Amino acid sequence: MKIIKGGICAVEGVLAAGSCENDYGVAVIVCEKSTASAVFTSNKVVAAPVIITKEAVKDGKLSAIVANSGNANCFTGNKGLENGRSMAYKVAYKLKLNVKDVAVSSTGVIGRELPMNIINNLIDNTVDNLENSIQASANAAKAIMTTDTFSKEFAIETKLKNGKKIRIGGICKGSGMIAPNMGTMLAFITTDINATSQELENALKKAVNSTFNMVVVDGDESTNDTVVIMANGKSNTSIDENFQEALEYVCSKLAKMLAKDGEGATKYMEVEVKGTSTNKDAQNAAKAVVSSSLVKTALFGADLNWGRIVAAVGYSGIEMDEKIISISLKSKKHSVKIVELGVVNAFEGTQELLDAENIMKEKDIKIIINIGLGNCKATAYGCDLSYDYIKINAEYTT
């Protein structure tokens, strides 16, 4: 597997562009006559673009995506649906596509109507600049940012079992309202694999479940979450296990970027839970720890309060025995076991305590929890909870 440049445009035949004006942006991605699948928010308040894209992808085909930032077009009633469909119609008309094959995504403030004069101008400008290039993918990734501090894109080339090479590229956005079952995030993935929509759906759901669904910034689930994959078949080769591994790798890289860019974040946290009797237990425990406000604030303050980690595992509802649990902290250069088989090592005056306190001061911290009951494992991704998170969200619409 080789990391390559180009994001979504690393895939042959994919066109992209992005334009911004003040607080608004529009990205357009064109991958004509593709098979497609998508995963959406499970929030019962559903944004207009989610409704529109569910309809568009129902037949397993897409040719383009138009996405805007600055306004979520959510809780906007029939007018929101009208405006979202207008975005799709405009792109379809300009590119001579079937409007049923154009997906729509939005991100930003909830409960306000789209400023269609601005959005329409941005669509015109974006479509006029479509191209297949490294810069085009970068522009699209930038255009969908809201409170993100950096744009997010990633691409790989890998060999399938038959020896043929395929490519997968993706862009995403997300910084706040990031919780289990995705967050206020949009992710768009392109590939040249030749696959049916059902094959894509199976692959995407599996990848999302172990990556995007394991990211927690603040515990709030958005109304607009969307992950779309489009496959144009240009590699002329079919899905196998190597494709699944590569797709999960791309999604995991994008998911980690979301966690590192959490609103107000100063530290990145990765929580690996292993030794559980089921995969579900591992996922639940990892998400409980990475979601804990007490763990997140301890991370921010570099406070070695490992009791908060144990407490989170305990209330996650998994099968466990506190007498055999082990907990380690790890950074890029150091690691220390603070609890071993239920016995605390990091007491006052010990080298373990000193090592652990030093690790807690670093920017990237991994928490490894061994439940000791089985062979299953899972990893969740998150960040600390800082003063700036409060400031950003207290002033979000003012």
Active site residue 184: yes
Pick 2-260's CATH classification: 3.30.450.20, 2.60.120.10, 3.90.950.10, 3.60.70.12: 3.60.70.12
- Cα separations in angstroms, 231 against 36, 56, 185, 195, 198: 6, 15, 21, 7, 12
Q: What pLDDT does 304 receive?
A: 86
97-123: pLDDT as tens digits? 999 999 999 998 888 999 999 999 999
Mean pLDDT, range 227-244, rounded to an integer:
96
Q: What is the location of CATH 3.10.20.340 in the chain?
A: 268-394
Confidence of residue 178 (pLDDT cuts 50, 70, 90): very low
DSSP symbol at 117: H
Tens digits of per-residue pLDDT, 72-98? 998 899 999 999 999 999 999 999 999
Residue 53 scores a pLDDT above 70: yes
User: What pLDDT was estimated at residue 175?
Assistant: 59
Q: What is the pTM of this model?
A: 0.85
332: Cβ contacts below 8 Å, ≥ 6 apart: 362, 364
Rounded CA-CA distance 227/40 in Å is 7
59 φ/ψ angles, rounded to the nearest 5 degrees:
-90, 5
Is the pLDDT at 176 greater than 50? The verdict is no
DSSP annotation of 263 reads: T
Say how many Å lie between the first and final Cα of the chain, rounded: 45
Question: CA 278 → CA 126, 153, 274, distances in Å?
Answer: 47, 32, 10
Q: Is the pLDDT of residue 41 over 80?
A: no
SS3 267: coil
Contact 49, 73 (CB under 8 A): yes
At residue 180, the pLDDT reads 41
The pLDDT, as a whole number, for residue 389 is 66
The C-alpha angle 285, 288, 294, rounded to 5 degrees, equals 135
Residue 183 confidence (pLDDT): 43
Q: Return the DSSP state at 35.
A: E
274: confidence class by pLDDT, cuts 50, 70, 90: very high
Which pLDDT value is given to residue 306?
84
Instruction: Give the model's pLDDT for residue 160.
Output: 96
Say whether pLDDT at 262 is over 80.
no
**Which one of 3.30.930.10, 3.30.1020.10, 3.40.449.10, 3.10.20.340 gives the CATH number of domain 268-394?**
3.10.20.340
- 176 against 34, higher pLDDT: 34
| Mean pLDDT computed over 143-147 | 90
pLDDT of residue 266: 87
Residues forming a β-bridge with 109: 71
* 322-375 pLDDT tens trace: 999 999 999 998 999 999 999 999 888 899 999 999 999 999 999 999 999 999
Q: 396 Cβ partners below 8 Å, 6+ apart? A: 109, 147
The CATH 3.60.70.12 portion of the chain extends over 2-260
Q: Which of 35, 53, 126, 184 is catalytic?
A: 184
Whether 386 has a pLDDT exceeding 80, the answer reads: no
